Amino acid sequence: MTGTDRERRLRFLADLTWRQIIVICSVTSFVILALIAAFTLREGLPAFVEIGLAQFLTGTTWDVADNVFGILPMILGSVYVTLGALVLSVPLGVACAIFLAEVAPYRIRQIVRPAVELLVGIPSVVYGLVGMLLVVPLIGRLGGSGDSILAASIVLTVMVLPTIISVSEDSIRAVPRHHKEGALALGATPWQAMWRVTLPAARSGILAGVILGMGRAIGETMAMIMVIGNSIVIPDSPLSPARTLTGSLALELKYAAGLQWNALFATGVILFVFILLLNSSALVMRRRGRT
């Protein structure tokens, strides 16, 4: 590059300035993100201190009037709903992934894959609305009001399905072709090759997809509020109403004060930790799947 001294100096200056701007942008981003974690922790800490971690996690009453805050009902609500969704969505999702990776003719795949992608984009309130109008009345026929863990699980199943399908399909496709061809050459049927060779090889990737889906299920808020009934009870059957951790935050935050405020942030901390654990294990799974 030629140029006068002046031009060269300007170039050098531009280089430095832009570098500074980039550094400022990124430092701001990282500080904001760190701040979110720190802030939630700071506001939640008093609740852990005052109530005690064990008491907070295992307490079965959440009563604002009595100033008693235990989140076991919400933990159970979230866990049951998530497990229910996984029981339905994992077999369905993995089967659908096998279908897309191995079974479906090219044209069918070109229809199913965009359909699955579209499912990801539909706003969660739309799922909630369809759940309210279609799923809840159906479950109401089985008994109760219909606002229930079962309804919430069904709605969540559809919501996490795309994640499980796309991650599983990717990891099934990532298994080298000659694995399968070796099995076929030995006389295995395509299904035997899939079940005994390809799926075991893709296992960690599929698990990573399931864990990501779990993360999405636990984090879902509005769609759950719309179909789960939100009463603070220890759920005793799939038809029983319940409340999730996230739902509790959304419903009470705006009117919270005092210890309730701290207890809500402490709930946020618990969610935070939960998701961190899930994501870390998904990360480990993915890495293991790659090697």
Partner 1 sequence: MKLSPKSVQRIAWALCWAAGVIAVFALLLIIGFVFVRGVGAIDWEFLSTSPRGGLSGEGGILSALVGTVYIVLLTLAIAGPLGIGAGIYLAEYAKDNWFTSFVRYGVEALAGVPSIVFGLFGFALLVVALHLSFSILSGGVTLACLVLPTIIRTSEEAMKAVPRSYREASLALGATRWQTIRQVVLPAAVPGIVTALILAIGRSVEETACLYVTMGGSANMPTSILSNGRTLSLHLYYLAMETLAMEKALATGVILIATIVVINSATRWLSSFYLARMQGRS
Stretch 175-214 residues interacting with partner 1 (CB under 8 A): 188-192, 194-195, 212
**In this chain, which of 45, 68, 79, 112 binds partner 1, going by CB under 8 A?**
112
Q: Does 246 bind partner 1 (CB under 8 A)?
A: yes
CA proximity to 209, closest of 253, 159, 162 = 162
Tell me the CA distances in angstroms from 230 to 137, 153, 197, 221, 246, one per residue in order. 17, 14, 45, 11, 11
**Maximal C-alpha separation, the chain:** 85
55-94 positions binding partner 1, by CB under 8 A: 91-93
Nearest approach, Cβ of residue 29 and partner 1 (Å)? 4
Q: Does 14 bind partner 1 (CB under 8 A)?
A: yes
Q: Does 254 bind partner 1 (CB under 8 A)?
A: yes
Q: Which stretch binds partner 1 (CB under 8 A): 49-57, 68-76, 144-152, 269-277?
A: 269-277
Q: Does 104 bind partner 1 (CB under 8 A)?
A: yes
Classify burial at 280, counting beta carbons within 10 Å of its beta carbon; exposed 0-12, middle 13-18, buried 19 or more: exposed
**In this chain, which of 61, 87, 123, 186 binds partner 1, going by CB under 8 A?**
123
Q: Which stretch binds partner 1 (CB under 8 A): 59-67, 68-76, 172-180, 261-269?
A: 261-269
**In this chain, which of 86, 158, 160, 197 binds partner 1, going by CB under 8 A?**
158
Q: Return the SS3 of 76.
A: helix
**In this chain, which of 100, 167, 175, 206 binds partner 1, going by CB under 8 A?**
100
Q: Does 288 bind partner 1 (CB under 8 A)?
A: no
Nearest approach, Cβ of residue 240 and partner 1 (Å)? 20
The region that residue 68 occupies, defined by phi over 0 for left and psi between -120 and 50 for alpha, beta otherwise, is beta
Query: For residues 61 and 70, is the Cβ–Cβ distance under 8 A?
Result: yes
**In this chain, which of 175, 228, 263, 278 binds partner 1, going by CB under 8 A?**
278
Q: Does 19 bind partner 1 (CB under 8 A)?
A: yes
**In this chain, which of 6, 106, 107, 133 binds partner 1, going by CB under 8 A?**
133
Question: E-assigned strands of the chain?
Answer: 62-63, 68-69
Both tokens of 122, joined, read: 């539909």
Residue closer to partner 1 by CB (options 21, 143) is 21
Tell me the CA distances in angstroms from 4 to 1, 7, 10, 162, one per residue in order. 10, 5, 10, 58
> How does 162-187 read in b/e, with b if 16+ C-beta sit within 10 Å?
bbbbbbbbbbbeebeeeebeebeeee
Nearest approach, Cβ of residue 145 and partner 1 (Å)? 15
Nearest approach, Cβ of residue 133 and partner 1 (Å)? 6
Q: Which stretch binds partner 1 (CB under 8 A): 49-57, 63-71, 144-152, 264-272?
A: 264-272
**In this chain, which of 7, 9, 15, 138 binds partner 1, going by CB under 8 A?**
15
Q: How far apart are CA 150 and CA 85, in angstroms?
A: 9
